[in-house]
Amino acid sequence: MAPKPIAVEQERASKRRNQVLEAAARCFRLYGFHGSSMAQLAKEAGMSVGHIYHYFENKEAIIDAIVQKDLDEWLASIQHLLNSSNIFEDMLAQLDDPIRDWLDPDYAALQIEILAEAARNAKVVAIVRASHDKIRDTVGELLRKGSSRPLTQTEIDSKFDLIGALCDGLMVRAIHSGTLDRDNLLALLRPTIRFILEY
Amino acid sequence: MAPKPIAVEQERASKRRNQVLEAAARCFRLYGFHGSSMAQLAKEAGMSVGHIYHYFENKEAIIDAIVQKDLDEWLASIQHLLNSSNIFEDMLAQLDDPIRDWLDPDYAALQIEILAEAARNAKVVAIVRASHDKIRDTVGELLRKGSSRPLTQTEIDSKFDLIGALCDGLMVRAIHSGTLDRDNLLALLRPTIRFILEY
Amino acid sequence: MAPKPIAVEQERASKRRNQVLEAAARCFRLYGFHGSSMAQLAKEAGMSVGHIYHYFENKEAIIDAIVQKDLDEWLASIQHLLNSSNIFEDMLAQLDDPIRDWLDPDYAALQIEILAEAARNAKVVAIVRASHDKIRDTVGELLRKGSSRPLTQTEIDSKFDLIGALCDGLMVRAIHSGTLDRDNLLALLRPTIRFILEY
Amino acid sequence: MAPKPIAVEQERASKRRNQVLEAAARCFRLYGFHGSSMAQLAKEAGMSVGHIYHYFENKEAIIDAIVQKDLDEWLASIQHLLNSSNIFEDMLAQLDDPIRDWLDPDYAALQIEILAEAARNAKVVAIVRASHDKIRDTVGELLRKGSSRPLTQTEIDSKFDLIGALCDGLMVRAIHSGTLDRDNLLALLRPTIRFILEY
DNA sequence: TATGAATGAGATTTCATTCAT
DNA sequence: CATGAATGAAATCTCATTCAT
Q: Which nucleotides of F are covered by protein (CB under 7 A)?
A: 1-21
- Flag whether pLDDT at C156 surpasses 50: yes
- How far apart are the CA of A103 and the nearest CA of chain B, in angstroms? 12
Same domain, C47 and C72: no
The reply to whether C49 Cβ lies less than 7 angstroms from strand E is: yes
- How far apart are the CA of D48 and the nearest CA of chain C, in angstroms? 26
Q: Considering only residues 30-69 of protein chain D, which place a Cβ less than 7 A from any atom of strand E?
A: 34, 36-39, 49-50, 53, 58-60
Write out chain C residues lying below 8 Å of D157, CB-based: 181, 184
Residue B170: the pLDDT is 92
- The residue among A21, A39, A56 that closes a domain is A56
Q: Which of A96-100, A114-118, B6-10 has the highest mean pLDDT?
A: A114-118
pLDDT in tens, D29-41: 999 999 999 999 9
Confidence of residue B199 (pLDDT cuts 50, 70, 90): confident
pLDDT in tens, A26-39: 999 999 999 999 99
pLDDT in tens, A1-29: 444 556 666 778 889 999 999 999 999 99
Confidence of residue A106 (pLDDT cuts 50, 70, 90): confident
- The answer to whether D162 contacts C105, with C-beta atoms less than 8 Å apart, is no
- Flag whether pLDDT at D15 surpasses 60: yes
Q: Which residue is nearest to nucleotide E10 (CA to C1')?
A: D37
Mean pLDDT of B45-70: 95
Confidence of residue D60 (pLDDT cuts 50, 70, 90): very high
- Flag whether pLDDT at D66 surpasses 90: yes
CB contact D72 to C (< 8 Å): no
Same domain, A5 and A99: no
Same domain, B118 and B186: yes
- Flag whether pLDDT at B123 surpasses 80: yes
Mean pLDDT of C23-45: 95
Mean pLDDT of B95-119: 89
User: How many domains is chain D partitioned into structurally?
Assistant: 2
**Gap between the Cα atoms of C111 and C102, Å rounded:** 9
* Beta carbon pairs, A and B, within 8 Å: 162
Instruction: Report yes or no: B104 and B148 within 8 Å, Cβ to Cβ.
Output: no
Confidence of residue B100 (pLDDT cuts 50, 70, 90): confident
- Flag whether pLDDT at C90 surpasses 70: yes
What single letter denotes the amino acid at residue C39? Answer: A
Q: What percent of chain C has pLDDT over 90?
A: 69
Phi, psi of A44 (to 5 degrees): -65, -35
CB contact A67 to B (< 8 Å): no
Same domain, C113 and C95: yes
In chain A, % helix, strand, coil (3-state, to 5) comes to 80, 0, 20
Instruction: Report yes or no: C33 and C63 within 8 Å, Cβ to Cβ.
Output: yes
Same domain, A154 and A93: yes
The residues, ordered by sequence, that sit 6+ positions from A28 with a Cβ below 8 Å of its Cβ are A36, A63, A66, A110, A113
Instruction: Report yes or no: A125 and A188 within 8 Å, Cβ to Cβ.
Output: no
Same domain, B49 and B74: no
- The residue among B56, B77, B103 that closes a domain is B56
Same domain, A170 and A98: yes
Residue C12: the pLDDT is 81
CB contact C128 to D (< 8 Å): yes
- Flag whether pLDDT at B134 surpasses 70: yes
Q: Which of residues 39-58 of A touch B (CB under 8 A)?
A: none
Write out chain D residues lying below 8 Å of C124, CB-based: none
Same domain, A2 and A89: no
Domain of residue A22, residue span: 1-56
Same domain, A23 and A93: no
Q: Which of D36, D111, D133, D168 to mutate to test the interface with C (most CBs of C within 10 A)?
A: D168
Q: Which of D30, D40, D188, D199 to mutate to test the interface with C (most CBs of C within 10 A)?
A: D188
Q: For all residues of chain D together, what is the average pLDDT?
A: 90
Same domain, A47 and A72: no
Mean pLDDT of B176-186: 84
CA/C1' separation D36–E12 (Å): 12
Mean pLDDT of D166-195: 90
Confidence of residue D7 (pLDDT cuts 50, 70, 90): low
CA/C1' separation C101–E1 (Å): 38
Mean pLDDT of B169-185: 87
Q: What percent of chain A has pLDDT over 90?
A: 66
pLDDT in tens, C37-78: 999 999 999 999 999 999 999 999 999 999 999 999 988 988
DSSP A48: -
> The domain that contains D96 carries what CATH number?
1.10.357.10
- Flag whether pLDDT at A182 surpasses 60: yes
Q: Which residue is nearest to nucleotide F9 (CA to C1')?
A: D50
> The domain that contains D47 carries what CATH number?
1.10.10.60
Residue A1: the pLDDT is 43
- The residue among D56, D73, D98 that closes a domain is D56
Mean pLDDT of A62-70: 95
- Flag whether pLDDT at B179 surpasses 80: no
Mean pLDDT of D23-49: 95
Q: Considering only residues 138-177 of protein chain A, which place a Cβ less than 7 A from any atom of strand E?
A: none
Same domain, A142 and A186: yes
Residue D5: the pLDDT is 58
Q: Among A76, A80, A38, A78, which residue's Cα sits nearest to residue A59?
A: A38
Span of A142-151, A174-183, C65-74 with lowest mean pLDDT: A174-183
Write out chain A residues lying below 8 Å of B104, CB-based: none
Which nucleotide is the nearest neighbour of B13, by CA and C1'? F1
Write out chain C residues lying below 8 Å of D178, CB-based: 129, 133
Continuous H helices in chain B: 6-31, 38-45, 49-55, 59-79, 87-93, 96-103, 105-118, 122-146, 153-176, 182-198
- How far apart are the CA of C137 and the nearest CA of chain D, in angstroms? 13
Angle (CA) A93-A97-A101 rounded to 5° is 145
Write out chain A residues lying below 8 Å of B187, CB-based: 158
Residue D74: the pLDDT is 86
Write out chain C residues lying below 8 Å of D171, CB-based: 172
Residue D1: the pLDDT is 43
Same domain, C49 and C133: no
Query: Which chain A residue lies closest to B34 (C-alpha atoms)?
Result: A34
Residue B99: the pLDDT is 87
**Gap between the Cα atoms of D87 and D81, Å rounded:** 7
Task: Give the residue with greater pLDDT, D129 vs C8.
Answer: D129
Mean pLDDT of D179-192: 91
**What pTM, to 2 d.p., does this model score?**
0.90
